[in-house]
């Protein structure tokens, strides 16, 4: 019927500074433009510390926690929400073959007004040295959304990924 029912743009960037063999400091930013969520956009920036619990070349598990700031712009010029947040993230990867791996991650950003959760499971295939494709199932949840919006969105995605060395 030529009616748009989903349209999302997302940017997530993180930089890590290695403190020791297993510990790191991080800084990250997240921007989400999802007009069907009740927000014009949601953005956050945070810093903190993390630890790699194991990385044996086949499996990797790491977690991180930090503090940050979030700004959400409500749809239809209804205002904006700004707040300090506590952020956590856990990541698990497991190589299935030389070019294929299973990935999962859980992200949480919790503030006084809203808790944002994002969980993903995926299978990625590296097609060349730097180019890959990923099939994923993604769930995004906001604890407090504007009236008329859903708290939880579920996506099945196919993405093309470029790995920078």
Instruction: Indicate the burial class of 147 (C-beta count within 10 angstroms; 0-12, 13-18, 19 or more).
Output: exposed
Tokens of 154: 């579920």
pLDDT at 20: 96
CB-CB contact of 116 with 139 (8 Å): no
33 confidence band (pLDDT: 50, 70, 90): confident
Q: How far is CA 71 from the centre of its chain?
A: 16
The pLDDT confidence band at residue 9, using thresholds 50, 70 and 90, is confident
Count how many Cα atoms sit within 13 Å of the Cα of residue 84 in the half-sphere of its side chain: 2
CA 30/CA 16 separation, integer angstroms = 15
Structure tokens at 76: 């239809």
- Alpha-carbon distance values, 131 to 59, 93, 126, 137 (Å): 21, 18, 6, 20
What pLDDT score does 49 carry?
Answer: 98
pTM of the model: 0.83
Enumerate helices (H) and strands (E) in the chain, giving the number of each.
Answer: 0, 9
Segment 140-165 shows an average pLDDT of: 84
Q: Do residues 53 and 22 lie in contact, with contact meaning Cβ atoms separated by under 8 Å? A: yes
For 154, the enclosing helix (H) or strand (E) is strand 152-162
5 — pLDDT class (breaks 50, 70, 90): low
**3 pLDDT band (50/70/90 cuts)?**
confident
Asked whether residue 146 carries a pLDDT value surpassing 80, the answer given is no
Whether 95 shows a pLDDT value over 80: the answer reads yes
> Tell me, what's the pLDDT at 107?
95
Task: Pick 78 or 109 by higher pLDDT.
Answer: 109
Residue range 131-158: mean pLDDT, rounded: 88
């Amino acid at each position: 019927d030529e009616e748009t029912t989903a349209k999302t743009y997302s940017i997530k960037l993180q930089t890590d500074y290695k403190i020791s063999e297993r510990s790191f400091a991080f800084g990250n930013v997240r921007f989400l433009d999802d007009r069907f969520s009740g927000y014009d956009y949601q953005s956050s920036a945070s810093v903190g510390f993390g630890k790699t619990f194991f990385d044996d070349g086949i499996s990797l598990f790491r977690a991180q926690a930090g503090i940050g700031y979030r700004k959400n712009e409500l749809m239809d010029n209804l205002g904006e929400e700004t707040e300090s947040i506590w952020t956590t993230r856990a990541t698990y990867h497991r190589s299935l073959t030389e070019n294929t791996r299973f990935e999962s991650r859980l992200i949480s950003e919790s503030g006084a007004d809203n808790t944002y959760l994002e969980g993903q499971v995926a299978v990625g295939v590296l097609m060349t040295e730097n180019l890959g494709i990923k099939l994923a199932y993604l769930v995004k949840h906001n604890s407090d959304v504007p009236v008329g919006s859903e708290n939880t969105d579920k996506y099945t995605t196919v993405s093309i990924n470029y790995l920078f060395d």
